[in-house]
A and B are shown apart, each in its own frame.
Chain A
Amino acid sequence: MFLNKKILLLFLCVGFYSCGSVSSNNPGSNSTVEASDWLLPKEEVVNGGVAKDGIPSLDDPSFKQTSEIEYVDDERLILGVKIDGIIKGYPHQVMDHHEIVNDQNGNQPFSLTYCPLTGTGIAWDRTIQGETVEFGVSGLLFRNNLIPYDRKTDSNYSQMQMRGVQGERKGKRLSTFQVIQTTWKTWKHMFPKAKVLSSNTGYDRNYSQYLYGKEYLEENSKPLFPIHAESEKVLGGRPYKERVYGIFQKDTNIEKAQPETFVIDEFGNGINLKNTLVGGTNYVVAGSSDLDFAVAFEKELSGKELDFEPIQDSLPVIMKDQEGNHWDIFGYAVEGPRKGQRLEPALAYYGYWFAFGDFFIWN
């Protein structure tokens, strides 16, 4: 009986010790963040489920020629840039796993960022205070959207707001580059010799899979994290994952931005053009449902407003103007008196309809 009491006491002591206070600890973290330090509503910033750099950025990317790439299916999407005259493609299949590629074309360092949850792909200059820096995945999300951080100042950024939102770089706008998005089938046709991100990334991943499930790409499937009730109202019953191309006013106050959105599937087959006025600037928007892209450029070049009409079956050339210039998908004149000149790309990116609605429309 005496032994029984001692044993019971032992268990109870252990039990009481176990009932200690609940705590959260981050001894190894290199950032201690005050609530007032954020430009975003703090209560809407959430941990997406991975550690900082738990989704590893690609910092030494390797590329192959388009024709040598075998891991991408025709209907899968690819992001593309033309920076310093070099065209590069970044298939979603790799970007789903890494979200950020720290890259360089010529003398221009840039980061290509992609958020699989909002479907937004944005490239920006990764020069900070004259120094080339790397961006990484913080593991945090704001309204489903990627929050990258830079490894020099440890500042956090909102991808869709294209600016620093916490830390030393808070409030600093990022200088972006035009990004196109299309299917692998269209890409192969347009740029058979371009460089495309290789699946040889240095990481052991299954790049053939749909990382967030094929269902996540279905138009009517819901976002991973909830969106505002107000956003639900302004979505107007349109599918959450309808892919749109949003054009922002130049020098816009991003917090109050009201981007003009174009639904990719509403351009119709072949290449079609739309004219739009955003913040006092006239833009031509070229898009195609079956070829699966949209791009927008300022209509005015060198003080003259150009009028465009589409060119079919000549990709990557998409339109011509009244002067006889032929323009490609990156806005370069490839033929005509302005050959070599470039139309000014709009501040714009692709994304899911719900993301634009939740980020901008209802604000």
Chain B
Amino acid sequence: MRSYYLLIPILLLTVAGPINAMAQTCSCAGAPLISSQSISSTSRGNFLLGFTMDHNQITDLYSGDNELQNNTTERSTQSALLELNYGITNRITIAGTATYVRKRRLGIQSNDEVITRGIGDALVLLKYVLHQNTIRSQYQLAVGSGVKIPTGKSNLTRNGIALNLDMQPGTGAWDGVFWTYFSKTFVPASTMNLFLYSTYRLTGTANRFGETDRYKFGNEWVANLGATNSITSDLSYIAMLNYRSTKSDQRNGQIQPNTGGYWLHLEPALQYTLSDGLSVKISGKLPLYQYLNGLQPTTTYTASVSLFYNFGKRVIF
């Protein structure tokens, strides 16, 4: 019973996110580094590998919550994410995610196309399981924190002219990342698993044009609420609501217009077990609601395919 009290501050932290997130950033062209942290933890000595290919189509144009006809620009981002989780103990897992990003922007009228590609930023998280799922107490609670490392370039140029930050593979800044995970099972009544995980990115600043020019992407908060259940012995579904908010970007402390907002997506997925320890997941995101500050292009849909392989005996989800 006492362990339930641990949930209260975690859930409060989770719920508090949107209150602080009134004016936020677009930044929908980045790799889904923060929202990809779906793996809870692994047991001691276990090694879990995940590889995800993600396509983010950005052809919608929004002002506030009004969708506008977009006949000027097409954008897309393709990301490859390599995620490794290793169980140091049964409660402590270290996780690392590396990314590779390809971004495309096309001016429709001018047929002016820019493509950037390169290694994106990386994420290292240390996760701690506060409560293990047991048959008598069927929930798991884990927290974690780490850093987003600016391994991606943020100074790419085109014909010698600096490209905008949202076309760069990286942000150039070190960010603090805080992560929480909660899941609930109902064995033997049901094989369903409910889960809620949330990631908060406290963004740092980076030099942009000279040492006195400091740019800061808006703080980002992502929460995922969902359920997963078996369809057959090898196939399961995942139904998830994904909420994301970002504050407006700042340059030298001044809020940047047309950045920030919040998004609510439906994220369905199917996961299939190919062999012992190896599974494949296909998923997508469809926007349900979004409110964007000013005028911004935004995600029309995303599609992802992931491979997961567990090198040990067991994975705790």
Chain A residues within 8 Å of B, Cβ to Cβ? 3-4, 7-8, 11, 14-15, 18-35, 42, 45-56, 97, 136, 139-140, 203-206, 209, 211-213, 215-216, 221-222, 224-226, 229
Known pairs A22-B156, A226-B213 / 20 extra A-B pairs, C-beta < 8 Å: A4-B277, A11-B307, A11-B309, A15-B51, A22-B118, A25-B117, A26-B115, A26-B159, A27-B113, A28-B106, A29-B112, A33-B161, A46-B209, A53-B109, A204-B70, A206-B68, A211-B295, A224-B251, A225-B251, A226-B252
Interface assignment of B270: CB less than 8 Å from any CB of chain A: no
- Pick the contact of B107 from A18, A21, A139, A213 — CB < 8 Å? A139
Please, which residue of chain B has its CB at the minimum distance from the CB of A22? Answer: B118
Per the bound structure, the CA–CA distance linking A329 and B156 in Å amounts to 48
Q: Is the interface of B mostly helix, strand, loop or mixed?
A: strand
Chain A positions within 8 Å of B100 at CB level: 18-20
- Pick the contact of B115 from A19, A25, A222 — CB < 8 Å? A25
Interface assignment of B98: CB less than 8 Å from any CB of chain A: yes
Please, which residue of chain B has its CB at the minimum distance from the CB of A15? Answer: B82
Per the bound structure, the CA–CA distance linking A211 and B292 in Å amounts to 12
Count, chain B residues at interface, CB 8 A? 64
- Pick the contact of B113 from A14, A26, A204, A224 — CB < 8 Å? A26
Chain A positions within 8 Å of B311 at CB level: 4, 7-8
Whether B69 lies near A204 (C-beta < 8 A) is yes
Count contacts between A and B, CB distance < 8 Å.
Answer: 180
Q: Given A14-B51, A27-B113, is A33 in contact with B254 using a C-beta cutoff of 8 Å?
A: no
Whether B117 lies near A23 (C-beta < 8 A) is yes
Minimum CB–CB distance for A145 against chain B, Å: 15
Which of B86-94, B138-146, B162-170 is found at the contact surface with chain A? B162-170
Please, which residue of chain A has its CB at the minimum distance from the CB of B153? Answer: A22
| 25 examples of A-B residue contacts, CB within 8 angstroms | A7-B277, A11-B82, A15-B98, A22-B119, A23-B117, A24-B156, A26-B115, A28-B113, A29-B113, A33-B161, A47-B161, A50-B73, A51-B105, A51-B106, A51-B107, A51-B114, A52-B112, A54-B72, A56-B72, A204-B61, A205-B295, A209-B294, A212-B257, A222-B252, A226-B251
Whether B51 lies near A7 (C-beta < 8 A) is no
